[in-house]
Amino acid sequence: MTHEVTIHPLVSPWGRFGLYSFFIDAPEPAVVDTGIASSPAEGMAPVLEKLGRSIEEVRWILLTHGHIDHLGGAHALWELTGRRAQVVIHEADAHLLRSRRAHVENYVAVRRQYLRDPNGVAEQTATAQAVISGELEPTVLVRGGETLSLGGDVTVSVHHIPGHTAGSVAYVVDGQRSVFVGDAVQVHGAANGFPGYEDPDAYRASLTYLRDEIRPRHLYLGHPYRSADGKPFGVELNAEDSRRALRESLDLEQRIADASRRYLRDGLRETDSVYSPFEWVANELGYTGDPTREPSPFFTTLHGYRTRFAAGS
């Protein structure tokens, strides 16, 4: 590639969160992640217009994973492109694009048993209805290892980096090591102050792979994740900050793994605490955030260690 492809962040607000999408200004323009239902019209279109581009021109919708705040706007964006954009997602998260119900089923399978909120299922159902713009069949299913051509000499390679979800991927603009990872690099978490991942071993392996093999020169995150000192990283990191974010993510995973292993070998203990049955782990880690606030990464992550250590590994 003779010159670097320009990348623009596109921000859409949602409650406590800023939802971040990125515009890759290639001959066939791409948008990485889509926010929620309102994001394409309210967050993306005005910024693209200011850049002298239009949302109709977008030819690629690249989804880093299946969470609602990343794919909720996919159907709306696809409609705004005249249904011409390719919609790309990993096959392990594709059910989350095809079905609103799949999001509720995820909640029921893991978080509900810890949150014990009698209105939880109704709330999850209402949220999926409101923030997912439509159920959609992806046009390109990936597994990692693919190369997508965005026109001219611009290519994007796809790398499977599971852990946060089973179908999390990194998109890498080849030749300039611009790397989009969605939520796969959690550092100390975003608004909830705790990193969220479903599979601890896969999360660690993916962080190591990003550090040693991908070695981002520019790293684009799905949220302004916090550093160890509580200060948020931005969502566009240079090479040095990328290394720091990966190192801090790995360090914290190690601490959580150690605490979980020590605690879980004796089995779970139910207590009156909101952190129950992982109160001891929260104390050990000094975690004082509200674990019941959605998307409750504390319970998602500790459930992963519970599953892992119960399996005897």
Binding site for Zn ion (CB under 5 A): 67, 183
CB closer to Zn ion, 76 vs 221: 221
Please calculate the CA angle 258-261-265 and round it to the nearest 5 degrees. 155
Q: How far is the CB of 284 from Zn ion (least distance, A)?
A: 25
d(CA 180, CA 62): 10
d(CA 298, CA 126): 23
Please give the distance of CA 131 from its chain centroid, rounded to a whole number: 16
Q: How far is the CB of 88 from Zn ion (least distance, A)?
A: 17
Q: Are 270 and 81 in contact (CB under 8 A)?
A: no
Q: How far is the CB of 67 from Zn ion (least distance, A)?
A: 3
Q: How far is the CB of 31 from Zn ion (least distance, A)?
A: 17
Q: How far is the CB of 65 from Zn ion (least distance, A)?
A: 6
The tokens 């159907």 sit on which residue?
75
Cis peptide before 200 (omega within 30 of 0): no
CB closer to Zn ion, 28 vs 294: 294
Q: Are 78 and 38 in contact (CB under 8 A)?
A: no
Please calculate the CA angle 226-201-68 and round it to the nearest 5 degrees. 55
